[in-house]
Every structure is written in C-alpha cells, then in structure tokens.
Structure 1
Amino acid sequence: MTIEALLIWLLIGAIAGWLAGIIVKGYGFGLVGNIVVGIVGAFVGGWLFGQLGIAIGSGIVGSIIGATAGAVVILLLLRLVRRA
C-alpha cells in the first residue's frame, strides 16, 4: 500500500465517520475515533451492501457513501449497547 492510498483511506474514513456522527446526533468520537468508526464502517457497509445486492458505484463518492452507511449502523448499534 502506498502512502497516497493510505492517506485516501484515512480521509474517506474521517469523512464517513464525521458524516455518521452528524446523522446519528450526539455520537461523535473526535477526529481519531471518527476515522476508526469510518474505516470499520467501510467494511460493514461494503459487506452489508454486498449482502443486499446493492451497487452504489465506484470512486471516492461511492466509497464515502458506503462507509458512511456502515458507520451509521455501527453508531446505532453502539447506542443500543450503551442503553442496555
């Protein structure tokens, strides 16, 4: 993995985590936490969309949408676990 690919990966994770924190109000984790949630969300979103047979598209915008959707799912699950 090149340094450029790593930076793009981190940027997509940061954007997705930030967007998910806005969508699921009150569950932001700061910059580093949002990057982690966004990166994990990218895996969850890719798996989830693959299971549902949904193709978002390619490129950075498609990656951000998928990662954001996965991060929202993660944040909603964290909200359920914290309430229990």
Structure 2
Amino acid sequence: MHWLWVIIVGLVVGVIAKALTPGKEAMGFIITAILGIAGSFISTYIGEKLGWWGETGFVHFLGSIGGAVVLLVIYHALFRRNATA
C-alpha cells in the first residue's frame, strides 16, 4: 500500500511541477510520475539529511515539488527537441 501512495503522490507532485515549469512538453503519464517520484526522493533525502524538515508535512510536500521542478528543468535541457527540425 505504501508504494501505491508513493506513486499517487509522485504523480501529483509531477503534475504540479509540470504546471509550474514554463514551456510545452508532450510528456506522458509515466515520465511525469517518474519525475515526481524521483524529485520527491531526492528532496526527501537532501532535506532530511540537512535537517530542513521531518519525514512528513506540508514543507516536505513543497520540497518534493521543488525537487521535481529541478528534475523537469534538467529533463528539458537534456531532451529539448529542435523546433526547426
């Protein structure tokens, strides 16, 4: 049940991050969920190790969104399609 919750929250985080990031990208459900989950894991690890927040809470959720936005920006930089091609 835990992993189902992680996927659902990761998808929500990915959708919010996608809405906050400028530009159009036709990413599907799976990439959005993966970026959301990865952003959540990265921000959880960094935030908890640095003592910025605990295991749960609203600040933790905002950190997950921030992590997903960073990953989305990196994704756009690496896989940007050439508009003239």
TM-score by length of 1: 0.71
Matched-pair contact (CA < 8 Å) for 2:53–2:60: no
Q: How far apart in 1 are the matches of 2:76 and 2:49?
A: 24
The verdict on how the C-alpha distance between 1:34 and 1:82 changes in structure 2, with shifts beyond 3 A counting, is closer
The residue number in structure 2 matching 1:40 is 38
- Length, aligned pairs only: 79
TM-score by length of 2: 0.71
Matched-pair contact (CA < 8 Å) for 2:48–2:55: no
Q: Which runs of 5 or more structure 1 residues have no equivalent in the other structure?
A: none
SS in 1 for 2:10: helix
Q: Which amino acid aligns with 1:13?
A: G
Q: How far apart in 2 are the matches of 1:36 and 1:7?
A: 13
Q: Which runs of 5 or more structure 2 residues have no equivalent in the other structure?
A: 81-85
Task: Among all aligned residue pairs of Structure 1 and Structure 2, give the percentage whose two residues are the same amino acid.
Answer: 24
The verdict on how the C-alpha distance between 1:58 and 1:28 changes in structure 2, with shifts beyond 3 A counting, is farther
The structure having more radius of gyration, on CA atoms, is: 2
SS in 1 for 2:67: helix
The verdict on how the C-alpha distance between 1:41 and 1:73 changes in structure 2, with shifts beyond 3 A counting, is same
